[in-house]
A and B are shown apart, each in its own frame.
Chain A
Amino acid sequence: MSAQYAAILVFLLVAIAFVAGNLILNRLFRPQRPYPQKLNTYECGEQPVGGPWVRFNIRFYIVAIIFIIFDVEVLFLFPWAVVYKDLGLFAFVEMFIFLLILTVGLAYVWKKGHLEWVLARRTPRT
């Protein structure tokens, strides 16, 4: 078994060597004439205005948080799926309860409106 993971390590090294080797070989053929205008950040031909490293829409972070919860769930599902045939009804009931709890979570997030990319403006209740 360890031989198969050794093969993956070899793949990793070959990938890095291939990219690095290409870049080094490339150095012999490519022109290298940098000047300040060329090294400027591309912004459709204009002088760049401000930096790009700014605050981002909060949606991206909420998606990341929801992702972590569901990704852990998927991790739990992998071993369960492999042995499902052997365990039968017991495994089914166990996982059904697990999925049900997570579905409640999904329903809650959905109800709260965090699955909408553009949040609806909250209208004050009268």
Chain B
Amino acid sequence: MHFVPYLHEQFLSAWPASVVVLLVALIGAGIMLAWVALVALVAVWAERKVSAHMQARLGPIYVGGFHGWLQTVADGLKLFLKEDIIPAMADKWLYIQAPVLVFGGAFLAYAAIPFGPKLVVSDLNIGVFYILAMSAIVAVGIIMAGWASHNKWSLYGGMRTAAQFLSYEIPSALHLMPVIMYAGTLNLGEIVRSQETGLFGWAGIFGWYLFRNPFLFLSFICYYISSLAETNRTPFDLPETESELVAGYHTEYTGIRFAFFFMAEYANMFVAAALSTLLFCGGWNGVLSRNIQYLPDPVVFLLKCSAFIFLTMWLRWTLPRFRIDQLMALCWKFLIPLGLLNIVGSALWMYIFEQV
């Protein structure tokens, strides 16, 4: 919101400040809504193409001409024109609310994601914390959907989500601690700015928190694993295992309501990729020093995000799914003790080598 005072003084001085603030927020929300829709459309298409080519298939090829690029739009239209079925036994009120919560939680996180040094709708001083909190809302929505459907598969999916989300929320927060300790702030923009120069004043890739110390590298890998679990991606897609639970928590959802769940899933994938990029991989800082960075900042940021999204898709078609006891064991016996170790290790490293 850096441009709000500027806008107010230059163009809209006749209007009260609060109106300008709300106007800018409304425009930002509109742009982000379009962005979420775009991300979902492109990511779904990309996922189909990536998975197809990994299995030596072609994937969508006809709709739209060029490599079936309109396939997701066509599917969206199809979902829009389908009948909306609310099962007779369902808890109707919760059933209607669940997609709103899931989509709302995913969308709200976009308010605090900076796409460039000043390209952020709401430059919160607790950005990291806010995004973690919003991703927890998605879990509530999924559990609600599972409960309200009055369907055995849905409820199993919902309960598994509860266990999985609750468990993996802890490691994903614990593994962010070393980064916050280094940056000394929860503001995402400032965390990225603190990655411009690293140890010995080296710029570029050495400034990224990923390469600051061995504990941070370990933290990054563990954080990435737990972010996969938080976005319900394979190998952690237990809430919607097609081969066991039909479709998990959204078995009973049809048409447009199902489309919202689907959109939220891909929106969340982008949030997870953006968080990995911003916190560990230097955000919009390129591989080289900022003085010789020719690509615009948002392009660098989006390139890194796309790389993470591609990695997520790659993992989906590479790894088989975990069993629930393995999932829990990985979280509680491996990621959480490692998270505690990383915090202590990073704190010691900072104290000894970098004289905090």
A-to-B contact residues, CB < 8 Å? 1, 3-8, 10-12, 14-16, 18-20, 22-23, 26, 29-34, 36, 38-44, 48, 51-53, 56, 59-60, 63-64, 66-67, 70-71, 74, 77-78, 81-86, 88-89, 92, 95-96, 99, 102-103, 106, 110, 115-118
Contacts and interface: CB of A to CB of B under 8 A. Distances in A.
Contact of B180 (A15, A64, A81): A81
Given A19-B99, A39-B88, A43-B151, A82 B82 contact: no
B83 A6 contact: no
Interface string B82-124: 1111111100000000011001100110110000000001111
Residue among A19, A48, A99 having the largest count of chain B Cβ atoms under 10 Å: A19
Contacts of A36: 88
A31 B255 CA distance: 11
Contacts of B174: 74, 77
B103 A19 contact: yes
Interface stretch (B41-49, B217-225, B298-306, B330-338): B330-338
Contact of B356 (A78, A85, A96): A85
B112 to A, nearest CB: 8
A4 B1 CA distance: 7
B74 interface: no
Given A6-B25, A88-B356, A63 B166 contact: yes
B89 A95 contact: no
B343 interface: yes
B307 interface: no
27 contacts: A3-B1, A6-B21, A7-B24, A7-B28, A11-B29, A30-B82, A30-B83, A30-B84, A30-B256, A32-B83, A42-B87, A42-B251, A44-B246, A52-B150, A59-B163, A60-B159, A63-B163, A71-B166, A74-B173, A82-B180, A85-B181, A85-B184, A95-B347, A99-B343, A103-B337, A106-B332, A115-B328
Contacts of B257: 23
Contacts of B149: 41
Interface string B52-89: 00000000000000000000000000001111111111
Contacts of B166: 63-64, 67, 71
Contacts of B135: none
Contact residues of B: prevailing secondary structure: helix
B196 interface: no
A85 B180 CA distance: 10
Interface band, chain B: 35 or more
A51 B151 CA distance: 8
A43 B150 CA distance: 11
Contacts of B344: 96, 99
A99 B341 CA distance: 9
A29 B80 CA distance: 8
Given A82-B186, A115-B333, A10 B29 contact: yes
A36 B85 CA distance: 11
Nearest to A81: B180
Given A22-B256, A102-B340, A15 B107 contact: yes
Contact of A23 (B30, B89, B256, B350): B256
A18 B33 contact: yes
B195 to A, nearest CB: 15
Interface string B307-338: 00000000000000000110011001100110
Contact of B170 (A59, A71, A103): A71
B293 interface: no
B325 A11 contact: no
B26 interface: yes
Nearest to B158: A52
B248 to A, nearest CB: 12
B325 A63 contact: no
